[in-house]
Amino acid sequence: MFPLFRIIRFILEGLPLSMANPFFWTVILIIWLQYKKTADLEERMFGFVRESPGRKVLYSILAGLLGGIIGSLIIVFLGISITEAGLTYVWPLAIILMLIHPRFMCFSYAGGIISLFSLIFGFPKVDVAGLMALVGVLHMVESLLIYTTGDLNSAPVFVQDDKYGIIGGFSLQEFWPVPIMMLAVTAGQLPVQDIVNMPEWWPIVKPPAEFLERGDIVYLMMPVVAALGYGDIALSRTPRTRSRSSAINLMFFSTVLLLLSVIASRIPAFKYLAALFAPVAHEALIIYGKKKERQSPPLFAPPERGVRVLDLVKGSPAEKMGIEPGDVLLAINGQQIDGEDDIRMIKETRPTYVWLDVIKPDGEFKTVEMTAYPEGIGMLGVLVVPKDQDAPFVVVEEKGLLERLKKLVKRK
């Protein structure tokens, strides 16, 4: 029988050691800088920050801690060890690949390349099955975090589309510091009180053959820190629908990779398949997601009449009246709306009574109203999709450092 409760206790005792690691706080600093960048963009678009970077970081830490517990349980249950897993080679390669493009800073690419080099050239010496299984678990944890929190910090953006012009969308950027417990295989004796006897079927992911031949090997639980991130853009679907679709696809990818890793730990020929599947399938998922999003009709395209709402300020008059993203505002107090300037008149006149003519995304026509005596309504609190081509803050795909340096040299 699997000693679940004792394993959970060891995990909970070990995770604080991961959080005491300086790398954990380095990851938190990087996450804070990313959220600070998003906050600066929100301030330029809305005039204020909707959610402070510090609060976002706190949510990320809590979610990452929960993800670390789940990931640690999966690692221990499968018996995935990092002995000869090649992490000392994977991290530097992941950073080098990031210079080509930010999305390449992923263990799927670096781990797959290192594993293939090990299989073909014999260097570096890597436990391919263990490394690929570790990549699978990290992506499985990532998919769970994306599914539950991937849309929490979505930020409204404008995107240039060849067919529709400037369209609205949401940038999905999430980062998580994940303290996690990994296993290392060693030979020797441990104090009896620290030993947990595992079932005969364990481990599911077998270590290298030279360790299996020994009768005195033990698995040590080691606290480490992983950094996970999610970057996407929602144009044809809501942020929640987009993030959850990505999470389901990533869960399928990680499950297949884990199955291939389990088989590879028993049948050597499958190591090649697992090492190829990780980078190729991961890249295919990204290409498929982007292509589907671009080919689908945008959810926030500018309408022929009125203006389309992209996002709302929490607690604003518009939100209180029931306005939602995707609604088309036709008129304010009977006056037709053609752009943002018509909405700004509320700030100038501060009416005590406002009614809006609205078309919902399903085509339903509604009139909503609100009163505010005696101070009046100073703002509506909506961000709308611009109709002109001179919209600020148009988002383009982020390039790698090498590409940006190349453009800088050409300019000079």
pLDDT in tens, 36-70: 888 887 777 666 677 889 999 999 999 999 999 99
pLDDT at 162: 79
According to the per-residue pLDDT averaged within each range, which of 11-15, 45-49, 259-263, 335-339 is highest?
259-263
What percent of the chain lies above the pLDDT cut of 90? 34
2, 202 Cβ separation under 8 angstroms? yes
pLDDT, one tens digit per residue, over 85-121 is 677 888 788 878 877 776 777 889 999 999 999 999 9
Mean pLDDT of 307-327: 89
pLDDT at 389: 59
**Position 161 confidence tier, pLDDT thresholds 50, 70, 90:** confident
Cα–Cα separations (whole angstroms), residue 260 to 129, 144, 273: 8, 20, 7
**Position 395 confidence tier, pLDDT thresholds 50, 70, 90:** low
Phi and psi, residue 224, nearest 5°: -135, 175
193, 224 Cβ separation under 8 angstroms? no
Distance CA(149)–CA(141), nearest Å, equals: 12
DSSP code of 352? S
pLDDT, one tens digit per residue, over 124-133 is 888 999 999 9
Cα–Cα separations (whole angstroms), residue 128 to 86, 108, 136, 254, 268: 9, 12, 12, 16, 9
260, 112 Cβ separation under 8 angstroms? no
pLDDT at 367: 93
pLDDT at 190: 58
Average pLDDT along the chain: 85
pLDDT at 391: 57
**Position 374 confidence tier, pLDDT thresholds 50, 70, 90:** confident
pLDDT, one tens digit per residue, over 2-30 is 888 889 988 998 888 888 888 888 888 88
Mean pLDDT of 185-202: 73
Q: How many residues does the chain have?
A: 412
More confident residue, 395 or 168: 168
pLDDT at 46: 63
92, 71 Cβ separation under 8 angstroms? no
Nearest to 108 by CA among 286, 290, 289, 264: 286
* pLDDT of 194 higher than 70: no
* pLDDT of 407 higher than 70: no
pLDDT at 136: 96
* pLDDT of 411 higher than 60: no
Distance CA(217)–CA(187), nearest Å, equals: 4
Nearest to 31 by CA among 48, 55, 66, 65: 55
Nearest to 86 by CA among 116, 115, 108: 115
* pLDDT of 217 higher than 80: no
More confident residue, 214 or 193: 214
Mean pLDDT of 74-85: 85
137, 261 Cβ separation under 8 angstroms? no
Mean pLDDT of 241-261: 96
pLDDT, one tens digit per residue, over 351-363 is 888 899 999 988 8
More confident residue, 343 or 45: 343
| Domains of the chain, start order | 4-295 (no CATH), 307-384 (2.30.42.10)
